[in-house]
């Protein structure tokens, strides 16, 4: 014990001397040394930090003064078939090999290569499988695979299902609704009869664990790869039914997802449907806020069209680190030269891109007529809520609630279990990657850091990452749902 304490003391002294002599010491080195110091301080100290954060969240998470009562959610919905990715591919007689990304999957070989590509990164991704007959054979094998589990799937359905767990909410869910999906849904969810169909849309979720191996490939962290042959969701066929249902339902919040599903249908279709989506969304009354949930995409032209045509007419968006960087790459924004994040995304770079999104496509520019005023960013280690001042309230509670559900849902527990989670967030960071910037130190007892840039406020909180996650699918949707639940939009 005394040896560990001595090493920790020496390491702390080195960090102090280096930073005093060179304040511009690379942030990555500082983060590495700080993480090493925390780990050397012992298991009890670390567990205490997780417990302190969890307890602090409970005090911070308070209901907004004005809560949503009726939320309409659409339009992508399906049945998720969750299986071991490596196990299913082995059952399909596919051999391991080299990874390579494919925008659209046309064969089992494409599937294998794309799965390996993202497994080696430990990153989530979603692709369209173009061959209907081959996909159906793979889907049958997945449903029959030992241990396969069937769940509610699709961002909209998952958000609706999460919101429906709160008894004060009435939730309308619209999407391609087959019999199995309807059976799996919470009984409290209202489903428009026009969205019912005779067959289900299946999405295959290939999960892998941290450290799992296949051939020479090793997963650095737990995640999943999703693919489907889903024309109904791919064409957003339920969009018009969804918007038509709003007049009778009278929601005070609309949550929209599924735009990413159109990417695999080809440029001609997505250009036409995107225009029709914008027209349909324009029919939603101005006083009803719209939240758009983004998902994995690969076509820069398509993402750029969404950024130009859709983002300015929604009030809020939710996205992860891959989607945020791709948004910047598509629009030639800050740090768009990065091919991918190196480990935990740098807070300063993330902050730069969030400010750019709200300035270029949102209301951060005082002269803008855009509606976008809120971005909920989530990555494995931390979350950030960025909001234009004067439009949203209760954001400390909202970002804390999103982080809390990430840790509890991944572990399959009702509340955070400090023994089953670990703190991976940087406790010191800069608010920008460029000057001028502010250095922020995060305390476990006060786990929400707040800073302002121009007229945008940023709220950051760490995530208590589940050491052995039971299920990774739908975490982003649960995070966005909880964040919205505790958010309050200020009447203008």
The answer to whether 301 is a known catalytic residue is: no
Whether 98 contacts 116, CB under 8 Å: yes
In a domain, 214, yes or no: no
Instruction: Write the CATH number for 417.
Output: 3.40.1190.20
pLDDT value, residue 37: 42
Alpha-carbon gap, residue 282 to 314, rounded angstroms: 10
In a domain, 372, yes or no: yes
In a domain, 139, yes or no: no
Alpha-carbon gap, residue 234 to 394, rounded angstroms: 35
Alpha-carbon gap, residue 356 to 408, rounded angstroms: 32
In a domain, 247, yes or no: yes
Count other Cβ atoms within 10 Å, centred on residue 129: 23
In a domain, 449, yes or no: yes
In a domain, 38, yes or no: no
In a domain, 395, yes or no: yes
Q: Residue 439 belongs to what H/E stretch?
A: strand 439-441
In a domain, 342, yes or no: yes
Read off the pLDDT of residues 312-349 as tens digits, 9 standing for 90 and up.
999 999 999 999 999 999 999 999 999 999 999 999 99
Read off the pLDDT of residues 386-429 as tens digits, 9 standing for 90 and up.
999 999 999 999 999 999 999 999 999 999 999 999 999 999 99
Read off the pLDDT of residues 244-292 as tens digits, 9 standing for 90 and up.
999 999 999 999 999 998 887 788 889 999 999 999 998 899 999 999 9
Give 200 or 213, the one with higher predicted confidence: 213
Whether 288 contacts 248, CB under 8 Å: no
Catalytic residue among 80, 230, 352, 477: 477
Domain carrying residue 463: 57-79+154-200+230-489
Kindly tell me if the per-residue pLDDT of 25 is higher than 50: no
Angle at 100 between CA 96 and CA 106, to 5 degrees: 90
Whether 246 contacts 72, CB under 8 Å: yes
Please count the structural domains in the chain.
1
Mean per-residue pLDDT over the chain, rounded: 89
Count other Cβ atoms within 10 Å, centred on residue 141: 16
Q: Residue 32 belongs to what H/E stretch?
A: helix 27-40
């Amino acid at each position: 014990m005394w040896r560990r304490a001595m090493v920790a003391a020496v390491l702390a002294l080195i960090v102090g001397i280096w930073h005093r002599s060179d304040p511009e010491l690379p942030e990555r080195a500082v983060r590495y040394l700080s993480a090493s110091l925390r780990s050397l301080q012992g298991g009890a100290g670390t567990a205490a930090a997780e417990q302190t954060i969890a307890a602090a969240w409970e005090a911070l998470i308070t209901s907004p003064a004005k809560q949503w009562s009726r939320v309409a959610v659409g339009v992508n919905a399906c049945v998720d078939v969750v299986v071991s990715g490596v196990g299913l591919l082995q059952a399909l007689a596919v051999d391991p090999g080299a990874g390579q990304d494919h925008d659209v999957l046309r064969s089992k070989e494409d599937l294998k290569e794309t799965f390996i590509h993202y497994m080696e990164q430990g990153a989530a991704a979603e692709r369209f499988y173009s061959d209907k007959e081959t996909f159906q054979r793979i889907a049958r094998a997945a449903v029959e695979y030992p241990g396969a589990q069937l769940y509610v799937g699709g961002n909209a359905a998952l958000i609706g299902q999460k919101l429906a767990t709160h008894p004060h909410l009435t939730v309308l869910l619209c999407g391609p609704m087959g019999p199995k999906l309807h059976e799996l849904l919470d009984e409290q969810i209202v489903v428009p009869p026009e969205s019912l169909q005779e067959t289900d849309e299946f999405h295959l979720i290939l999960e892998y664990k941290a450290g799992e191996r296949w051939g020479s490939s090793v997963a650095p962290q737990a995640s999943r790869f999703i693919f489907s042959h889903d024309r109904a969701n791919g064409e957003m066929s339920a969009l018009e039914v969804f918007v038509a249902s709003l007049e009778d339902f009278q929601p005070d919040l609309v949550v929209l997802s599924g735009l990413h599903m159109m990417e695999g249908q080809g440029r001609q279709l997505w250009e036409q449907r995107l225009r029709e989506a914008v027209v349909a969304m324009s029919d939603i009354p101005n006083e009803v806020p719209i939240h758009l949930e983004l998902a994995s995409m690969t076509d820069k032209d398509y993402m750029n069209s969404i950024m130009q045509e859709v983002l300015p007419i929604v009030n809020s968006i939710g996205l992860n680190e891959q989607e945020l960087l791709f948004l910047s790459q598509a629009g030639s924004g800050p740090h768009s030269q990065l091919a991918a994040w190196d480990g935990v995304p740098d807070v300063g770079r993330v902050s730069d891109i969030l400010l750019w999104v709200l300035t270029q496509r949102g209301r951060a520019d005082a002269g803008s007529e855009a509606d976008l005023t809120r971005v909920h960013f989530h990555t494995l280690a931390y979350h950030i809520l960025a909001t234009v001042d004067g439009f949203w309230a209760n954001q400390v509670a909202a970002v804390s609630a999103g982080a809390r559900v990430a840790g509890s849902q991944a572990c399959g527990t009702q509340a955070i279990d400090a023994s089953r989670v670990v703190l991976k967030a940087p406790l010191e960071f800069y608010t920008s990657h460029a000057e001028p910037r502010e250095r922020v130190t995060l305390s476990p007892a006060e786990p929400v850091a707040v800073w302002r840039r121009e007229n945008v406020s940023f709220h950051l909180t760490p995530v208590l990452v589940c050491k052995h996650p039971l299920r990774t699918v739908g975490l982003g949707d649960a995070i966005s749902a909880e964040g919205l639940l505790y958010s309050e939009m200020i009447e203008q």
